Structure 1
Amino acid sequence: MRFKGILLAIMASAMPVPLLAQTAEPAAANDPAAFDTEINAILTKWMAENHIPGMVFGMVKDGRLAYVKGEGVQDLFAKRPVTPDTLFRIASMTKAFTAMSILKLRDEGRLALDDPADRYVPELRGWTYPTSDSPRITIRDLLTHSAGFVTDDPWGDRQQVLSQTAFTAILKAGVPFTRAPEMRHEYANLGYAILGRVIANITKAPYRSFVEQRLLTPLGMTASGFDVLAHPKDKRAVGYRWENDAWAEEPTMKDGAFNAMGGLEVSATDYAKWLAFIVSAWPPRDGADTGPAKRATVRQVMRGVNNAAVFHRYATDGDKQCPGTVSYGMGWRIIGDCDYGTVLAHGGGYPGYGSHVMVLPEYGVAFFALTNRTYSGPSQPVWDIAALLRAKGVIARRAEPVSRDLATFYTAAQTVWSAGTVDALQGRVAMNFPMDRTAANWAKVLAETKAKSGACETTAPITAEEAMSGTFTWKCEKGSIEGTVLLAPTKPITLQALGFAFEGKD
């Protein structure tokens, strides 16, 4: 079935969904709605360039879907507009739910991450490994895509409808390896399909039952699930592919044996609840732990990362921006970014659908976008909008609280500077402190530094890097003092290092 010559018409007549909590009052400067025009321009430009029938973009902040925008249509025939309740297959973003299910089973004592996978999937026991010294594949290997399987995106995507009986036959026959396990990361849908079988065998119920009952239902994701054929047709985004300058409808793939790697269908409204749960795990803190998984368990998705590589942002001109690192954790790509710090990200590519998610734990926000065109991963607009909202001050890195001990020793540092000696630290320093610089030399260095800087305003607050270290900046007549306070791992708390570095004016 083909649909020619209607892309521009759809883009022109697209009905953007009203923002959540939208009012007649102008949006505040820290409200993403204040930048609706810029966000809309990013989305519509990308959609036109990539032939996207429909798309929804969302931002999760403060535990809710703080901004949502639908563009285009979910069905080219009926021309129903995309809304926050339109259902999209999220493809490989399903893997995060599978990984969380495995971690929940670990928390319950029903498996260990370093258990051999064949303990739970007996069909793997007869496999021939590539070398005689190859280790047996573990649950952790499957989670981190380091089991030695070949990349299988095009093949794996079409296995969604595979029956459990047929999957059992594949496993019994064994699979070829591209290398020995644990040698490197190589993305393999097969590994997550096996994890689905692990979950099913341990729980003695279908994989989807565990995810739906233990994750989706507690989070109130009532519209989402794996049995897409049972979902209301008027709510589902029809999947299309673009070829020969025309749209062709992709066949709807029913729930099958590879659902653990990519079968989940969600709405933006529902998916935001999942992301709010993920974001809420940071920072570590006291208090009730009421989610479907413990906060500490959620944070562990960053563990198990392996074979780090250089990362260039998915954003426009991302290769010209500061490079970072990327590794694979458990159902998430873990990125180290110069501006955002730690980023949890993942894409989803599927016949008829494309998606992307970006979680910024240090900012307390998450962004996502879902589309209904084959392999149309919207990573570029997601990262571009994140950059826009960061530049506009809508999102900002969370400030680390200053601990009582750090505040106490910062006060001591101010006294040291004022007095020109370290006498105020008597009995409060770690054993290395006087060995690294004598009291006499401290007095000499302080006098020399104060002569270079001139009078300084020393009332600026200290910025905590963590509970036991921090930095401060004092403005001075001739430049500035860049200071550091580092506490020692002792009880009682002592000071292990103190720094006053002068930087002259340009």
Structure 2
Amino acid sequence: MQSPLWTLCRNWIAVLLLTVVVPALAEDTGRKVPVIDQVDQAVSKLVDKNVVAGAVTLVAEDGKLVHLSAVGKADLETNKPMTRDAMFAIASMTKPISATALMTLVEEGKVNLDDPVSKYIPEFADVEFDGKKLEKPITLRQVLTHTSGLGGDQRVVKSLENQGKILADRPLYSVPGTKWQYSPGLNVIGRVIEVASGQPYGDYLQEKIFTPLKMNDTTFAPTEQQKPRIATLYALDKDSGELKPSSSWIGNVKTDPYPNPSAGLYSTASDLFRFYQMMLNGGFLGDTKILSRDSVAELTTAQTPDEIVTGFTPGNRWGLGYCVIREPQGVTEALSPGTFGHGGAFGTQSWGDPEKGRVYLLLVQRSNLGNSDGSDLRKDFQNAANTALSK
């Protein structure tokens, strides 16, 4: 285990490096970038096996980019190659970003994590479980840790205000605080952001996170200029064994035009690197401050008790909108205790490892992959990077 002094010094070095390194990632300009051959080989094997059509992978260490690569195809029908600046629907990787936005309001004193949800969405005052009124109200902390008892689909209908009322009327899966149930709770948080800030949720994220961090390709509604860079979503045809174009409400602006705090963002490897490096730095990126170190620690520290089993892989607990690795094993064996992040429905993965000072990003577009958090693709990518960097 590295000393706190070394970790602090390394983070300050990372801040300085980012003022030079990160701007070079803004576009796929063709300039030379570092590539770890073992990572490309590991991912390419699964491209060859039709697990995914293509992928963008990024690894950073101590704030410095050590790997950024694109393999395979962004679109099979047109034979379009994957590029480093490709855009992806990141699905539930949206959740930690929403939680981080809420924490800016906590710092401003406009929100308390232990506030009852009903303070912002009055309909939650009448929530019942098994026909009985709750003894204690559902809190924002419970919503952020998926222990609120909420469950079911994560779509947003008409508006976050309307969706808040829908969720308040939805039967609970369990007594709040007793079980972990993956939920649309971050959609509740999106509405709380609107009420507490007085701004639409999407506008607030743009002002407080995307613009300051220069995340210029992170959006709920890609522009006409951005659309050609979006990687095609595929599903595996089990009869033919081939990848076929797929569709989903996630990221579909035509069917679901409302910004979705649980699943709605598109982004790129470069943008997500900026976000996760900010978190590893303790809330800073260069001269830009998003949060205090204490707030970052609150978000990324396990909040759920040991007796509550959380997540989609063994050995983790839940922070505030973030999964936190407690005991690395299996698919997470390359990560350190305290690593935080989140996966997405289409196989995407984003993780920050504070002990090793690393960011791991895996971007693909594959539905019906099963448990993407436990996928061989994720495991092989992380293991290859860790092995190469540990030599």
Task: Give the TM-score, by structure 1 length.
Answer: 0.62
Q: Does 1:355 align with 2:353?
A: no
Pick from 335, 341, 346: which aligns with 1:345? Answer: 341
Pick from 196, 203, 221: which aligns with 2:197? Answer: 203
Residue 126 of structure 1, CA deviation: 2.8
Q: Secondary structure at the match of 1:250?
A: coil
Alignment of 1:54-69 (within 5 A): 54-69=54-69
Q: Does 1:116 align with 2:112?
A: no
Comparing 82-91 with 297-306, greater Cα deviation is found at 297-306
Q: Does 1:328 align with 2:325?
A: no
Matched AA of 1:99:
A
- 1:222 maps to 216
- 2:148 maps to 147
Number of aligned residue pairs: give it.
345
Matched AA of 2:245:
A
Please give the alpha-carbon distance, in whole angstroms, between the structure 1 residues aligned to 2:171 and 2:145. 19
Q: Secondary structure at the match of 2:344?
A: strand
**Aligned Cα root-mean-square deviation (Å):** 3.0
- 1:380 maps to 376
Give the 3 Å change call, closer, same or farther, for CA 289–103 of structure 1 in structure 2: farther
Please give the alpha-carbon distance, in whole angstroms, between the structure 2 residues aligned to 1:373 and 1:302. 27
Residue 348 of structure 1, CA deviation: 0.5
Question: Would the aligned equivalents of 1:225 and 1:265 in 2 still touch at CA under 8 Å?
Answer: yes
Residue 223 of structure 1, CA deviation: 1.6
Give the 3 Å change call, closer, same or farther, for CA 118–207 of structure 1 in structure 2: same
Question: Would the aligned equivalents of 2:61 and 2:356 in 1 still touch at CA under 8 Å?
Answer: no
Question: Would the aligned equivalents of 2:342 and 2:350 in 1 still touch at CA under 8 Å?
Answer: yes
Please give the alpha-carbon distance, in whole angstroms, between the structure 2 residues aligned to 1:385 and 1:19. 23
- 1:418 maps to none
- 2:252 maps to 253
Give the 3 Å change call, closer, same or farther, for CA 164–343 of structure 1 in structure 2: closer
Alignment of 1:467-478 (within 5 A): none
Please give the alpha-carbon distance, in whole angstroms, between the structure 2 residues aligned to 1:208 and 1:367. 26
Give the 3 Å change call, closer, same or farther, for CA 21–373 of structure 1 in structure 2: same
Gaps of 5+ in 2: 1-27, 329-334
Matched AA of 2:366:
R
Matched AA of 1:186:
Q
Residue 148 of structure 1, CA deviation: 0.9
Question: Would the aligned equivalents of 2:217 and 2:271 in 1 still touch at CA under 8 Å?
Answer: yes
Q: Secondary structure at the match of 1:66?
A: strand
Q: Secondary structure at the match of 1:187?
A: coil
Q: Does 1:391 align with 2:387?
A: yes
Question: Would the aligned equivalents of 1:185 and 1:307 in 2 still touch at CA under 8 Å?
Answer: no
Give the 3 Å change call, closer, same or farther, for CA 231–209 of structure 1 in structure 2: farther
- Specify which structure has the bigger relative contact order, considering alpha-carbon pairs within 8 angstroms and separated by 6 or more residues: 2
Pick from 350, 359, 368: which aligns with 1:366? Answer: 359
- 2:18 maps to none
Give the 3 Å change call, closer, same or farther, for CA 332–171 of structure 1 in structure 2: closer
Q: Secondary structure at the match of 2:57?
A: strand
Question: Would the aligned equivalents of 1:146 and 1:184 in 2 still touch at CA under 8 Å?
Answer: yes
Pick from 267, 291, 294: which aligns with 1:293? Answer: 291
- 1:95 maps to 95
- 1:413-471 per-position Cα deviation (integer Å, ceiling 9, x unaligned): xxxxxxxxxxxxxxxxxxxxxxxxxxxxxxxxxxxxxxxxxxxxxxxxxxxxxxxxxxx
Question: Would the aligned equivalents of 2:212 and 2:288 in 1 still touch at CA under 8 Å?
Answer: no
Residue 240 of structure 1, CA deviation: 2.5
Please give the alpha-carbon distance, in whole angstroms, between the structure 1 residues aligned to 2:112 and 2:365. 37
Would you tell me which structure has more strand in proportion to its own residues?
A: 1
Task: Give the TM-score, by structure 2 length.
Answer: 0.79
Matched AA of 1:301:
L
Q: Secondary structure at the match of 2:359?
A: strand
